[in-house]
Structure 1
Amino acid sequence: MAIPGWLPLAARAAGRGAGARGPRGDRYRHRGRADPRSKSGLSLATRRDRVRVPAGRRHRAVVERARRAPRLRPGGSSGRPRGPARDHRTACGFCGGLGEIKAIKRVSAVLIVLAILAWVLLPVARAYSLVSAQHSEPSVPAGLSVADVTFESTDGTPIRAWLALAKVGAPAIVLVHGFKTSRAEMVPWARFLHDAGYNALLLDLRGAGRSGGATIGLGATEPRDIVAAVQTAGEVFRTDHVAVLGISLGAGAAILAAALDPRIAAVVADSAWTDQDFQLARLGVIDVGPFRLPVPPLGVPAVNAMVGVDVTKARPLDAISRISPRPILLIHSADDDNATTPLDGARRLFAAAGEPKDLWVAPRGGHVGAINAFPDEYRARVLAFLRDALR
């Protein structure tokens, strides 16, 4: 059908007078020019005639078009293939960008919260790793006849031990192992002491071997086990002459036990520690490459809560003077590389101890290794000390 020539002019006049809106709403305005793509001949506006409107209005227009768009119903009679319903968030770049930003913010918030929790809980986790029990099943030593015995520590913790009988009535030596090991570690000492005629009791400290306890006391609770072992050894072997020989953690614990119990006639401390300050200070920092970053000071309180006592008060350096006049022998290797038992610590212990006392610094051997580096001299020194102390 032919379009009257006056119609475009009327449309143009109407557009100028009233600001007529095109078929796309108020997003664009037009000047009434004929558009060959329009069936009616009315203008839809050319590209150069379009007038931009604010982003908020454009967004609302896109939302409205998406809402009004026809959606295909399943089983419809139109015969057209099904398609997904239109969503303005997929059609609108503005909404899509906002969604991505919100998702990134949510992920970032979760990561920040997790990082804070890890930073706060790290010292607690390290404290648990430090004092958690390490139970094991010690193998029966070959070439040494032992009997298994169970007794209670002074606080009721069950303690397991081996008894190596040389002679009823002979002096007895209580042998105390190191950090997170077991009585099996003390078999080399038990052999040469047994061969020399001494009875021996090899105990598993709490939290180690087959003994009870959920934690290791870092020397704060182990003296209880040693005191109970001394009493058991005296009763079983029928002797009043009981000495204690300890290595590493057991050496410091032996000093603390002797300061508490006068029944301990003598002490041999191999590679002893002075305090746990260095060990506990490590709970307050974390190594990140070349840097040491501080963490919340929760490590020491966590250790104290897990162990049940204040471990900072376990200080052999302060207790060793109370052993006198009973004798003490300190043994240390010059090249001890354990950070908690430096050679300087042995010298400080010796200076703080009362008479009678002796210190042997082995030229080499590392931590608790003097018995292997100098076996003959080690045995001779220990046996000579015990012979004088227990006569």
Structure 2
Amino acid sequence: MSGLLGLAAALPPVRAIRYTARVFRRFAYPDQAPSFETPEDYGLSAESFEVTAEDGVRIRGWLFEPPDARGVVIVCHPRSSNKSRVLRHIQILVEGGMAVVVFDFRACGDSERPGRRVFNSMWEPLRDLEAVARMVEQRFAGDAGLGQRVALLGCSFGGNMAIAHAGTTGRCYAALVLDSTPLIHWQDMLDLLLARERRGARRRVLRAIGDYLAVRLLVAWTRTEALYRHAQRSAQCLDRTPLLLMLGERDGYFDIEQSCRFVAESYAGPVELWRVPRGRHLTLHITAAEEYSRRLLDFLDRAFDNRAARPPARQAACAPARPSARSPARVSAASLQQRGVS
């Protein structure tokens, strides 16, 4: 059987769409990428934990709690990656006096891989984040200060999960940070990636047909459009949660202008935008290392100080109408630019 599959893969029509098939596989089902670094490599000491998502999948992670922590940050890693991918972010936060909770989404790192699902692979990680958020509530329930100063930081796809979760659970997070997060229609992103890959390729017509069909099948398979609308509804509830959106001007993974438009049209709370001139996807903390640390910690300090001064009551889960154009919380793309820092 393996010989037949190898022969089929060598046939010209199959070779023409092989990259498309890999893209489909990558986005439909995450890879359980190995961990190449440990907390000890960054001079950190982690407490391991395990929680169970509502569908029984066991999710594993690390907790970092420095003395006299000023707040708690839940960190969400990119897709087809694991918690070791964000260790530098964790180091910045811990050295800045923040407690950090990081975990592996299902089928990534040390977390369990559920039984094969046919659909909803883009939605299931929301269950993992919810289980971790409940653990954080229980862990810091005895500390009124820390319990009210909880923020979310999401990198790439982890940011998609963070913003989709934050406004739909009844919690009132102190802050939300999105790093290189594609707040876009996934069909647009995949069309762009595959069109770029087709340049100069042979059998471009066949590739274009295969790409068109594969992208639309993938969007339907994973229900990404429904997830996009869910994230919009969530963003419209976050009027008391400030957002720091960090994007690289040279991000070749998606159109960052679409992310800016999403925030301008849907995010109900105050927004700070930082567009890193030479930044690429998930490299902002490297391209502008000192500025990244300064901006991130300053933003969280201000958000936590504001939350300590005006602690909110727990709000009911929100299902809002679209914000009014007259609402002062609504921001235009132009005002995003004015409020951000280039």
How do residues 183-194 of structure 1 correspond to structure 2 at under 5 angstroms?
Answer: 183-194=83-94
Which of 68, 71, 75 is residue 171 of structure 1 equivalent to? 71
Larger relative contact order (CA 8 Å, sep ≥ 6) = 2
For 1:174 and 1:195, how far apart are their aligned partners in 2? 15
Q: Given the superposition, is the C-alpha separation of residues 118 and 158 from structure 1 closer, same or farther in structure 2, using an over 3 Å criterion?
A: same
Contact kept, 8 Å, 1:364 with 1:373, in 2: the verdict is yes
For 2:276 and 2:193, how far apart are their aligned partners in 1? 32
Q: Given the superposition, is the C-alpha separation of residues 363 and 390 from structure 1 closer, same or farther in structure 2, using an over 3 Å criterion?
A: same
For 2:63 and 2:270, how far apart are their aligned partners in 1? 29
User: Residue 258 of structure 2 aligns with which residue?
Assistant: 345
The structure number with the bigger radius of gyration is 1
User: Residue 284 of structure 2 aligns with which residue?
Assistant: 370
For 1:313 and 1:159, how far apart are their aligned partners in 2? 25
Q: Given the superposition, is the C-alpha separation of residues 294 and 371 from structure 1 closer, same or farther in structure 2, using an over 3 Å criterion?
A: same
How do residues 17-36 of structure 1 correspond to structure 2 at under 5 angstroms?
Answer: none
Q: Given the superposition, is the C-alpha separation of residues 297 and 136 from structure 1 closer, same or farther in structure 2, using an over 3 Å criterion?
A: closer
Q: Given the superposition, is the C-alpha separation of residues 360 and 298 from structure 1 closer, same or farther in structure 2, using an over 3 Å criterion?
A: closer
**Cα deviation, residue 185, structure 1:** 1.0
What letter corresponds to residue 252 of structure 1 in structure 2? N
For 2:214 and 2:33, how far apart are their aligned partners in 1? 29
For 2:84 and 2:262, how far apart are their aligned partners in 1? 27
User: Residue 269 of structure 1 aligns with which residue?
Assistant: 178
**Cα deviation, residue 196, structure 1:** 1.8
User: Residue 384 of structure 1 aligns with which residue?
Assistant: 298
User: Residue 25 of structure 2 aligns with which residue?
Assistant: 128
For 1:125 and 1:373, how far apart are their aligned partners in 2? 29
Deviation readout 1:94-134 (Å, 9 max, x if unpaired)? xxxxxxxxxxxxxxxxx9xx999999999777533432232
Contact kept, 8 Å, 1:123 with 1:297, in 2: the verdict is no
User: Residue 56 of structure 1 aligns with which residue?
Assistant: none
Deviation readout 1:44-88 (Å, 9 max, x if unpaired)? xxxxxxxxxxxxxxxxxxxxxxxxxxxxxxxxxxxxxxxxxxxxx
**Identical aligned pairs, as a percentage?**
22
1:293 alignment partner, SS class:
helix
For 1:222 and 1:166, how far apart are their aligned partners in 2? 27
Contact kept, 8 Å, 1:127 with 1:303, in 2: the verdict is no
Contact kept, 8 Å, 1:320 with 1:349, in 2: the verdict is no
For 1:155 and 1:304, how far apart are their aligned partners in 2? 22
**Cα deviation, residue 190, structure 1:** 1.0
Contact kept, 8 Å, 2:251 with 2:280, in 1: the verdict is yes
Contact kept, 8 Å, 1:131 with 1:218, in 2: the verdict is yes
1:231 aligns with 2:146: no
1:151 alignment partner, SS class:
strand
Contact kept, 8 Å, 2:69 with 2:98, in 1: the verdict is no
**Cα deviation, residue 187, structure 1:** 0.8
Which of 338, 356, 360 is residue 274 of structure 2 equivalent to? 360
TM-score (norm 1): 0.61
Q: Given the superposition, is the C-alpha separation of residues 277 and 118 from structure 1 closer, same or farther in structure 2, using an over 3 Å criterion?
A: same
User: Residue 53 of structure 2 aligns with which residue?
Assistant: 153
**Cα deviation, residue 137, structure 1:** 4.2
Contact kept, 8 Å, 2:33 with 2:80, in 1: the verdict is no
TM-score (norm 2): 0.69
What letter corresponds to residue 330 of structure 1 in structure 2? L
For 1:371 and 1:120, how far apart are their aligned partners in 2? 35
Which of 331, 334, 342 is residue 246 of structure 2 equivalent to? 331
User: Residue 204 of structure 1 aligns with which residue?
Assistant: 104
Deviation readout 1:318-354 (Å, 9 max, x if unpaired)? 642222221111011111111x3x2212321331222
Which of 243, 248, 251 is residue 156 of structure 2 equivalent to? 248
**Cα deviation, residue 260, structure 1:** 1.5
User: Residue 334 of structure 2 aligns with which residue?
Assistant: none
**Cα deviation, residue 312, structure 1:** 2.2
User: Residue 141 of structure 1 aligns with which residue?
Assistant: 39
CA RMSD of aligned residues (A): 3.3
**Cα deviation, residue 372, structure 1:** 1.0
Q: Which moved more, 1:257-266 or 1:323-332?
A: 257-266
Deviation readout 1:210-240 (Å, 9 max, x if unpaired)? 1123579674332222222222123224442
